[in-house]
Amino acid sequence: MPPSKPAWRPLLAAWLVLPALAACSGEPEPRAAVPPPPSATTAPPTTSSTHPIPPPPPETTQAPPSTHPKAPSTTSAVPGSCGTVTAASGLTLYVFDSRAGGVPCAEAMALVRDFHAKIAGRQGTGSNDAVNDTVSGWLCTSGPPAAQGGTTCSKGEQTVFAAVVPSE
């Protein structure tokens, strides 16, 4: 028995010969169906093409401003100051350099920060009252925020000053 031919061979031959026969008969060749345009939900191809689409530019939007109080700054924009501290009233204070009086900047910053943490809730932004308290043996006073009052802390001959940063 001779080996049998696969059944698909006659179909392949007919498919290849049909356009040639149609051209010889004078009849127009049947047109191939045009595939529909890709839908919006079709995923982009994963293979590279000769005309790659460049990726979109990175977004350059800035993050929204924070609503949290300013963190203490260790750098100073004002000559003679150690940096800034957020007061209990929410105002920002420049803590001035007291090294000449024997108080290093780091200690002065910590003293003013600790004092304002201790008096938190006792002096609002619009308050006309001064607040006094002691921190680590220092007597500190926060002037009235409504009058842009700063902070003064003293212990013996040593004094630390902090002034309100003017609003812009």
Selection from 168, 123, 113 nearest residue 149 by Cα: 123
- For residue 132, give both structure tokens: 């006094």
> Mind giving me the DSSP string for 37-63?
PPPTTSPPPSS--SSPPPPPPPP-PPP
Report pLDDT digits (tens) over 78-130.
Answer: 778 899 999 999 999 999 998 888 999 999 999 999 999 999 999 888 889 99
Domain ranges (residues) in the chain: 81-164
Q: Which amino acid is at 51?
A: H
Torsion of CA 67, 68, 70, 71, to 10 degrees: -150
| DSSP structural state of residue 145 | G
Report pLDDT digits (tens) over 3-37.
Answer: 665 665 655 555 555 555 555 555 555 555 555 55
What 3-state DSSP class applies to 26?
coil
pTM: 0.54
Q: Which amino acid is at 54?
A: P
